Amino acid sequence: MTEVTMNVNGRKVTRSVRGNELLVEFLREQLRLTGTHVGCDTSQCGACCVHVNGELVKACTMFAAEADGAEVATIEGQANADGSLNVIQQAFQDYHGLQCGFCTPGMVMSAASLLKDNPKPTEEEIRHHLQGNICRCTGYHNIVRAIMAASGQETPAVAAE
């Protein structure tokens, strides 16, 4: 076991982890932050996306020990300080950007990382950025619309709708 300390959603936590403990297992099982989902466990689906030191990563494909000393942000830390939905989450609700909702935490974290670097992405840039996030309800059009809206842009009928 190794002791790790990290800052998760602004809260400093210290725990012992196994060498082979994945970051997603640490978040879900030790910290009980179960908003980060495990869809495929093979790095394909992106439901486990979190931010580590401000960068989007798949928490199923990184060890908890490697996040020692890091700033980690999960879906649980995304709401506004007063508990209301942040602009991306609200846009997902307003534009029906979720159906079953399983992929949504990863989609929101992925969208947040895109808008941080590129505040006004084009539809194509959004689709390219979401390559590693799979929605098995195939609700991509409304996800793209929600991200367009969250970035303060018009949300014209997207292609093939």
d(CA 141, CA 107): 13
* Least distance (Å) between residue 92 CB and another protein: 19
Could you say which of 76, 132, 141, 153 contacts another protein (CB under 8 A)?
Answer: 132
3-state secondary structure at position 25: helix
Nearer to another protein by Cβ, of 80 and 118: the residue is 118
Stretch that binds another protein, among 81-89, 125-133, 138-146, 149-157 (CB under 8 A): 125-133
d(CA 150, CA 127): 15
Residues 69-108 that bind another protein (CB under 8 A): none
Residues 51-70 that bind another protein (CB under 8 A): 55-58, 61-63, 65-66, 68
Order of strands, edge to edge, in the sheet holding 2-8?
11-17, 2-8, 71-73, 49-52, 55-58
User: Does 3 interact with another protein (rule: CB under 8 A)?
Assistant: no
Which amino acid, residue 137? C
